[in-house]
Structure 1
Amino acid sequence: MLQETEIRSNGIADAWANRSEFWLSEYAQSLPKRKLRQRNPAPLILNGHGVSLRIENGALVIRDGFTHYPQDRHAYRFFPRDLDLPTRILLLDGSGTLSFDVLSWLAEQGVALARIRSNGEIATVASGTGYAADREKVDWQLATRADMAKRLAFAADLIRRKIANSIPTLEVHIPASQSRDMALFKANAGIARLESETFKDLNAIFVIEGECASAYFRAWHGLPIKWKGTARRPVPQEWRAYNWRSSRATGVKAENRNASHPVNAILNYAYAVKIAKLQIEAIANGYDPTIGIMHNSNRDSPAWVLDMIELERSPIDAQILQFVRGHTFAANDFILRKDGVCRLSPQLARVVAALAS
């Protein structure tokens, strides 16, 4: 006869498997339809434990990982110039192996490979096209960054467009409220200032950006999140609505990384997937991804890509708001660590990655 702890453990395992299968079906339905003779436009998203990529008789053979039991393990075989071959492969955390031959094969076939950590940070991006810099584009990046007047003009225009992109997200996806009205007011006022004022340093631009961002996310406060099965497996009370962008797990300093709330964990993951895609595109288009105009460049940061993601944040927010509003979540969809950090379950992460890519 099973002990109570064994029954509880089995119940949790079953719930995890059921939610994993649910998100797998959601992922399958989200894949775009292809046109005749069109190369596969959707990235191949792999996750779980035991992912493997190897070359076998000239073909790329891939086995997806395990995230739950029981689970049908997906396998793929791609031949050179195969129309089913995706242009991007995303490895979402997990574990597995690949060989040097695989990296060479991917480069020859123009397939980019990106690995995203479970915390929504990029571990590595390898462009399938290699890096053949366009000298004119790189010279423009260097010259614009070196000229403060041009750098300020670039930053002011970039933030103006970022704020302008936030307006449709607020109008369409956030219910009418006093805080939404204030966010729209701040956005329009910020746009006007960025179009008319002359700035002496980047900090003045960042102040406008910060004021608008603060009002923007304040308009999200109180948005309800639907849950099921909480009588059997409760979730933290603060997860029942969205009330802040920064993480409670970062201590006194308010930071957006290491999310403590499910919606922020989803946002961080979606942003990371989009950054990986933009980095691949930047390299393919001949830009140096490390030379930012607004963001400071350093060896460990794709500063140019961080500039470009600013224009994508609000459209991603709109997708995530629609996604959250359209689903009822369960405790098994998220992993709450001992340090208060929230992580996505592997199959939910797969769906979010597909949304953002």
Structure 2
Amino acid sequence: MCGHGISLRVENGSLAIKNGFTHFPQEQETFRYFRGDLDRPARIVVLDGSGHLTFDVLDWLAEQDVPLLRVSWTGDVVTVAGGSGYSADREKVAWQQATRNDPERRIAFASELIQTKIVRAAENLTLLHPKPDTLDQTRDKLAECVVLLRRAPPTSITALQGLEGGAAQAYFQAWRQTPLRWKKSKRHPIPPDWEFFGSRASVRATKKIKNRNATHPINAMLNYGYAVAVGQTKIRALANGYDPSLGIMHHEYREGPAFALDLVEPVRPLVDRAVIGFALEDELQPADFVLRADGACRLNPQMARHVVQLVAAAEQRSGDVSTGW
């Protein structure tokens, strides 16, 4: 549920739900569930939005064991109410735990994700690159990685990450020095290195090369798009009853939603496809980007909204981006 004017009420023993308004014109959706109804939802997820509910609703949800989650637009859980106070599906969380604790199952799960990611990255080179006929070496590298994953997958996550890192390096290297079109003006000059696709890493990274704090507009758009994709993946994981923090491939990752970071791996090339396609097809506007005092590049609000729309459209065109979870 999302939008403005969300309403949850108990009427004659049944739960009456009115979804919110998200655009105009729009008819407000209404749902009704009775006690013991086999079709009652496993959980109710409220994404941002505004509205109201009553204490009777909380009692009804607790009685019928239906948790209500309020989630921010980034996918972070703000509140869990009703039900047993636990929003996830215990069987699915048990599967996550068992898969991460079994080395063979863990590497199989992770290898499938990375294989899909590399295949989609190779498709991007064919679909988007201005000179695809010059990329035989890169395509051979990605194809070799896919063959290894299918025939002789790595025996550890560290080895898998090394293989994926080599594929990613070759993939992004293929975009280096690809020219970009800018609407230049004296009022909005651009740095010389913005004339072309640059390195995926920030040029101001010091001890360890990082992709954060992008110093190039393409990287800034990619980082923002990846963040949007992670947020959407967290929301889908929550709605499906998984624990977004219980990672399988990102087993030791302690700084974010590890399971969402697992699931977003095959989605990253879709973000690339949307952002790079836009950058190659359109004339970029210098005013859409802001250089901070530390040299980091950020998107202005209009460009940020556009990137969100690009990512949403790319995911919608791709259909189900999951791998069975």
Q: After TM superposition, is the score higher than 0.5?
A: yes
Asked if 1:153 is matched to 2:153, the reply is no
- Which residue of structure 1 aligns with residue 150 of structure 2? 195
- Which residue of structure 1 aligns with residue 135 of structure 2? 180
Please tell me whether the aligned partners of residues 55 and 61 of structure 1 are also in contact (alpha carbons under 8 angstroms). Answer: yes
1:338 aligned partner, one-letter code: A
Quick one: structure 1 residues 141 and 89, their matched pair in 2 at CA, closer, same or farther if it must change by over 3 Å?
Answer: closer
Question: What is the deviation of 1:125?
Answer: 5.2
Q: Distance in 2 between matches of 1:229 and 1:279?
A: 39
Q: Which moved more, 1:228-237 or 1:202-211?
A: 228-237
Asked if 1:226 is matched to 2:181, the reply is yes
Quick one: structure 1 residues 299 and 199, their matched pair in 2 at CA, closer, same or farther if it must change by over 3 Å?
Answer: closer
- Which residue of structure 1 aligns with residue 199 of structure 2? 244
Quick one: structure 1 residues 114 and 128, their matched pair in 2 at CA, closer, same or farther if it must change by over 3 Å?
Answer: farther
Q: Which runs of 5+ in 1 are unaligned?
A: 1-38, 45-52, 63-74, 91-97, 116-121
Q: Which has the higher contact order (CA 8 A, sep 6+)?
A: 1
- Which residue of structure 2 aligns with residue 254 of structure 1? 209
Asked if 1:168 is matched to 2:123, the reply is yes
- Which residue of structure 2 aligns with residue 16 of structure 1? none
- Out of 211, 232, 236, the residue aligned to residue 166 of structure 2 is 211
Q: Distance in 1 between matches of 2:187 and 2:252?
A: 49
2:105 aligned partner, one-letter code: K
Please tell me whether the aligned partners of residues 294 and 307 of structure 1 are also in contact (alpha carbons under 8 angstroms). Answer: yes
* Cα RMSD (Å): 3.8
Asked if 1:271 is matched to 2:230, the reply is no
Per-residue CA shift, 1:181-230, capped at 9, x if unaligned?
22211111001111111533211111111111000001111122211133
- Which residue of structure 2 aligns with residue 329 of structure 1? 284
- Which residue of structure 2 aligns with residue 13 of structure 1? none
Quick one: structure 1 residues 307 and 243, their matched pair in 2 at CA, closer, same or farther if it must change by over 3 Å?
Answer: same
Task: Report SS of the residue matched to 1:313.
Answer: helix
Q: Distance in 1 between matches of 2:259 and 2:291?
A: 33
- Which residue of structure 2 aligns with residue 292 of structure 1? 247
Q: Which runs of 5+ in 2 are unaligned?
A: 10-17, 32-44, 58-65, 313-325
Please tell me whether the aligned partners of residues 46 and 68 of structure 2 are also in contact (alpha carbons under 8 angstroms). Answer: no
Asked if 1:114 is matched to 2:69, the reply is no
Quick one: structure 1 residues 127 and 249, their matched pair in 2 at CA, closer, same or farther if it must change by over 3 Å?
Answer: farther
Q: Distance in 2 between matches of 1:89 and 1:229?
A: 40
Task: Report SS of the residue matched to 1:114.
Answer: coil
- Which residue of structure 2 aligns with residue 29 of structure 1? none
Question: What is the deviation of 1:146?
Answer: 0.5
Q: Distance in 1 between matches of 2:108 and 2:69?
A: 35
1:156 aligned partner, one-letter code: S
Q: Distance in 2 between matches of 1:239 and 1:129?
A: 49
Quick one: structure 1 residues 176 and 140, their matched pair in 2 at CA, closer, same or farther if it must change by over 3 Å?
Answer: same
Please tell me whether the aligned partners of residues 125 and 276 of structure 1 are also in contact (alpha carbons under 8 angstroms). Answer: no
- Which residue of structure 2 aligns with residue 144 of structure 1? 99
Q: Distance in 2 between matches of 1:298 and 1:140?
A: 18
Per-residue CA shift, 1:306-348, capped at 9, x if unaligned?
0011010111111111111222222211110010100000111
Per-residue CA shift, 1:129-186, capped at 9, x if unaligned?
9963112211111001111121112222221121111121111001235762222111
Question: What is the deviation of 1:260?
Answer: 0.6
Q: Which moved more, 1:266-275 or 1:221-230?
A: 221-230
1:36-185 equivalences under 5 Å are 81=29, 112-115=71-74, 124=76, 126=78, 132-176=87-131, 180-185=135-140
Q: Distance in 2 between matches of 1:128 and 1:273?
A: 23
Asked if 1:340 is matched to 2:303, the reply is no
Per-residue CA shift, 1:81-131, capped at 9, x if unaligned?
479xxx9868xxxxxxx99969x99x999874314xxxxxx8x45589996
Quick one: structure 1 residues 195 and 346, their matched pair in 2 at CA, closer, same or farther if it must change by over 3 Å?
Answer: same
Q: Distance in 2 between matches of 1:176 and 1:246?
A: 23
Task: Report SS of the residue matched to 1:156.
Answer: helix
Q: Which moved more, 1:322-331 or 1:304-313?
A: 322-331
1:329 aligned partner, one-letter code: L
TM-score normalised by L of structure 1: 0.67
Q: How many residues align?
A: 277
Task: Report SS of the residue matched to 2:271.
Answer: helix
Question: What is the deviation of 1:299?
Answer: 5.7
TM-score normalised by L of structure 2: 0.73
1:159 aligned partner, one-letter code: I
Q: Distance in 1 between matches of 2:136 and 2:79?
A: 43
Per-residue CA shift, 1:40-75, capped at 9, x if unaligned?
xxx87xxxxxxxx8999x99999xxxxxxxxxxxx9
Quick one: structure 1 residues 300 and 125, their matched pair in 2 at CA, closer, same or farther if it must change by over 3 Å?
Answer: farther
- Which residue of structure 2 aligns with residue 49 of structure 1? none
